[in-house]
């Protein structure tokens, strides 16, 4: 549980760190967008003022009114930099009104020079009453609109010009292009990391649970032979069997069998560990299959509590392997067949050539394996919840048998396949080299 808690803490801290990175990146993106938006508005305002001034002087230079004189000392500016003097004089003295079409053309060029490509409308309005006297492109509307300052062109403030940019945010996003791409990539990476971290947490929790189940099952499964050994030894040491040689011999056999059982379990766990880390040295040679399967037939026929029949069809006679491990692998498959069996057990063992491999097929008439379980049966500790199944009347074990078969075939540069149908049969096929695969 401590390991689980530590993993959870580390994972939580990692996820929190990733979330902080996302929030910082999001804050940076929003802040950058705000700066660019404000810059765009400032440029739009500035270019509107310059365009108004330019349009006014254009009218002044083309007027024929000799009574209108604008000296430099009389060029009045309002707080925004608008030459209110020339504009007011043109409106009130020369009666030359602002040309909105000309202003529109000048403003288009001014915005383009600042890389602002948004469409816009121009309004000539009376700020005092809100009346729109003239509107250039009134049909343009959008949910995203930005209005410039209302720029007065009369001293009394009765007439002004305003521009409305339509969907200007596209320009902002265009300027943020590379940064947005980087942000999206970062978000994607962070989301992937979070999901990957969650999957690691789930796997760690599952592995922790399986190891706990395995430890509990191992103690449970070893308790019975240990109890038998201790009980038998006490009886033998008590002297009560001294005058009963046949019973004493039976107790000796029980002790030996249970001790062999414990030693076999310990060796299997050690061998699995070595197989997984490639530390086990295999003694490979040409192994005859028939003596192995015949010996296993005799062993399981004698120990089985149910009627068991073996059928053989050994066409491929040899494999190039470590005989001890091959025999143990086949033994595990037969052991499974007897555990997950019906009232009467039928086991067929056959072999045949398939390319450079010898295929060894072990088929039974047992309860079968579901398609879902077929995907995980070779995993270590797959049957680690043995105690729960034992309480329901199922077979005991650590879930190491099929993993052992898998590791052995893998160590021999072979493979193992399963084919099964629930309620009818299970069939395992071991593919082992027929000859030395390392030969040139």
Do 391 and 298 reside in the same domain of the chain? Answer: yes
User: Do 154 and 214 have their domain in common?
Assistant: no
Mind listing the pLDDT tens digit for each residue in 229-273?
888 888 888 888 788 888 888 888 888 877 877 777 777 677 667
How much is the average pLDDT of 217-237? 77
Q: Which domain holds residue 309?
A: 281-433
Residues 146 and 199 in one domain: no
Question: Within this chain, do residues 160 and 200 fall inside the same structural domain, yes or no?
Answer: no
E strand or H helix at 163: strand 160-166
Find the CATH number of the domain harbouring 422.
3.30.565.10
Tell me: do 124 and 259 sit in the same domain. no
271-327, pLDDT tens digit by residue? Answer: 667 666 666 677 888 999 999 999 889 888 877 778 889 999 999 999 999 888 898
Q: 275, 303, 326: which is the final residue of a domain?
A: 275
What pLDDT score does 386 carry?
Answer: 36
Buried b (16+ CB within 10 A) or exposed e, 378-413: bebbbbbbbbeeeeeeeeebbbbbbbbbbbbbebbe
Q: In this predicted structure, what is the pLDDT of residue 363?
A: 94
Backbone CA torsion sign across 4, 9, 12, 17: negative
pLDDT tens column, 57-96: 888 777 765 555 555 444 556 676 777 777 777 777 777 7
pLDDT, one tens digit per residue, over 28-61 is 777 777 887 788 888 888 999 899 888 888 887 7
Summarised one tens digit per residue, pLDDT across range 181-209 is 777 777 778 778 777 877 877 777 776 76
Residue among 105, 127, 120, 113 at smallest CA distance from 58: 105
Q: Is residue 439 part of a domain?
A: no
Three-point CA angle 254, 259, 262, nearest 5°: 130
User: Is the domain of 222 the same as that of 303?
Assistant: no
pLDDT for position 396: 46
Q: Which residue has the higher pLDDT, 343 or 281?
A: 343
Residue 389 has pLDDT above 60, yes or no: no
The confidence score (pLDDT) of residue 8 equals: 63
Residue 10 shares a structural domain with residue 129: yes
> Is there a domain that residue 166 lies in?
yes
């Amino acid at each position: 549980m401590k390991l689980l808690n530590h993993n959870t803490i580390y994972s939580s801290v990692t996820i929190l760190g990733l979330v902080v990175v996302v929030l910082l990146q999001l804050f940076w993106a929003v802040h950058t967008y705000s700066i660019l938006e404000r810059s765009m508005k400032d440029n739009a305002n500035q270019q509107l003022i310059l365009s108004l001034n330019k349009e006014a002087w254009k009218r002044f230079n083309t007027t024929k009114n000799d009574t209108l004189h604008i000296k430099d000392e009389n060029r009045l500016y309002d707080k925004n930099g608008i030459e209110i003097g020339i504009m007011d004089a043109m409106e009130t003295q020369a009666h030359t009104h602002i040309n909105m079409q000309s202003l529109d053309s000048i403003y288009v060029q001014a915005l383009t020079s600042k890389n602002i490509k948004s469409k816009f409308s121009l309004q000539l309005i009376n700020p005092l009453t809100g009346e729109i006297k003239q509107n250039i492109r009134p049909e343009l509307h959008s949910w995203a609109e930005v209005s410039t300052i209302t720029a007065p062109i009369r001293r009394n403030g009765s007439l002004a010009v305003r521009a409305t940019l339509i969907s200007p945010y596209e320009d902002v996003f265009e300027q943020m292009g590379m940064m947005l791409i980087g942000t999206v990539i970062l978000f994607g990476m962070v989301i992937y990391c979070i999901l990957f971290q969650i999957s690691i947490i789930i796997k760690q929790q599952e592995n922790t649970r399986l190891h706990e189940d395995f430890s509990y099952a191992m103690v449970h499964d070893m308790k019975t032979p240990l109890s038998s050994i201790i009980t038998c030894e006490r009886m033998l040491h008590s002297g009560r069997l001294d005058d009963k040689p046949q019973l004493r011999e039976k107790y000796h056999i029980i002790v030996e069998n249970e001790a062999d059982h414990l030693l076999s379990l310990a060796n299997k766990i050690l061998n699995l560990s070595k197989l997984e880390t490639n530390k086990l040295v295999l003694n490979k040679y040409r192994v005859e299959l028939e003596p192995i399967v015949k010996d296993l037939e005799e062993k399981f026929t004698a120990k089985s509590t149910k009627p068991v029949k073996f059928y053989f069809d050994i066409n491929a006679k040899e494999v190039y392997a470590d005989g001890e491990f091959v025999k143990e692998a086949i033994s595990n498959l037969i052991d499974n067949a007897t555990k997950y069996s019906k009232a009467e057990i039928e086991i067929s063992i056959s072999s045949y050539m398939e390319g450079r491999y010898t295929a060894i097929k072990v088929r039974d008439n047992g309860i079968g394996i579901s398609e879902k379980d077929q995907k995980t049966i070779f995993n270590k500790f797959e049957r680690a919840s043995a105690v729960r199944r034992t309480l329901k009347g199922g077979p005991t074990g650590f879930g190491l048998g099929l993993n052992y078969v898998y590791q052995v075939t893998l160590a021999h540069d072979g493979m193992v396949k399963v084919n099964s149908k629930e309620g009818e049969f299970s069939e395992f096929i071991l593919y082992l080299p027929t000859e030395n695969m390392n030969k040139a």
